[in-house]
Structure 1
């Protein structure tokens, strides 16, 4: 199992790197050139830069990921496509995307987009909490443990 991170806005990179490397997994941080950084990562962590297009990171992740790989993303569209590819997909807030919840999440995203087009202000995502970090760490640990044995 490899770990692919939609890393432009992922607040959990440090946790992913720590747990992934502790379990000898390869980690790929996929970012747009708009988020270029000179930060150096340990061996086993590769940063892949893509064009600044809206879904460039998503397309790169999908082209690289294989059945059973783990993807970390806040993007419901990417999650839906990755689930269809038999990848495991988790959100930085600590929940797993799956065939049972992805349709509702996509519908909610669509409804919010339609409301914004009509000029209705919608709420943005809630701030990340310590509880979210704990849920994410617990879920990531569980997935890694289950899939590397």
Structure 2
């Protein structure tokens, strides 16, 4: 069984890039949104549209509930990326940044600081506009992560130690 790709789709600028990689590798893509915006999707059996009810974090909750350790999640939402990593899944942002257990803590902390500053009336800058190099970096990173997930799923875990038999 191959890994699936989950897209946090409401604000995802790289859906078409995900579809290209998934089609080439034969992966299923779950496009999760709250349905408030009409997202046009190709009508193929390997793309699954998931529409959840409107509300804060409802799509994130659905993804976090369904993603598994061999899957890949495409999201720029830092808390969702953290939840996916906790389940052992791979997470990548739309600009090609890999979310890892090494960098997610500082990203969550930075997000909390920015939220606090906004609550005091300070202006914080949002993400930088998407550049062509971001899409290229995203494609490369997604391909790498999907290939790694496929290899990890295909090969059984290797025992790093054996009990001593007397």
TM-score (norm 2): 0.86
Aligned to 1:82: 84
| C-alpha spacing 1:102/1:20, structure 2 compared with 1 (3 Å) | same
How far apart are residue 117 of structure 1 and its match? 0.6
Q: In the aligned structure 1, how far is the partner of 2:109 from the partner of 2:79?
A: 11
Q: Which among 50, 53, 63 is matched to residue 51 of structure 1? A: 53
| C-alpha spacing 1:85/1:39, structure 2 compared with 1 (3 Å) | closer
SS at match of 2:107: helix
SS at match of 2:45: coil
Q: Tell me if 1:3 matches 2:2.
A: no
SS at match of 1:136: helix
Pairwise CA RMSD of aligned residues? Answer: 1.2
Q: Deviations over 1:11-64 (max 9, x none)?
A: 000010111011110000000121234544322001100111110000111111
How far apart are residue 145 of structure 1 and its match? 2.1
Aligned to 1:13: 15
Q: In the aligned structure 2, how far is the partner of 1:146 from the partner of 1:40?
A: 26
Structure of greater Rg: 2
Q: Tell me if 1:137 matches 2:139.
A: yes
Aligned to 1:60: 62
| C-alpha spacing 1:96/1:39, structure 2 compared with 1 (3 Å) | closer
Q: Which among 110, 118, 124 is matched to residue 120 of structure 2? A: 118
Q: In the aligned structure 2, how far is the partner of 1:114 from the partner of 1:54?
A: 19
| Number of positions where the alignment pairs a residue of Structure 1 with one of Structure 2 | 149
Q: In the aligned structure 2, how far is the partner of 1:24 from the partner of 1:112?
A: 39
Aligned to 1:92: 94
Unaligned runs of 5+ in 2: 152-166
| C-alpha spacing 1:39/1:2, structure 2 compared with 1 (3 Å) | closer
| C-alpha spacing 1:88/1:123, structure 2 compared with 1 (3 Å) | same
TM-score (norm 1): 0.95
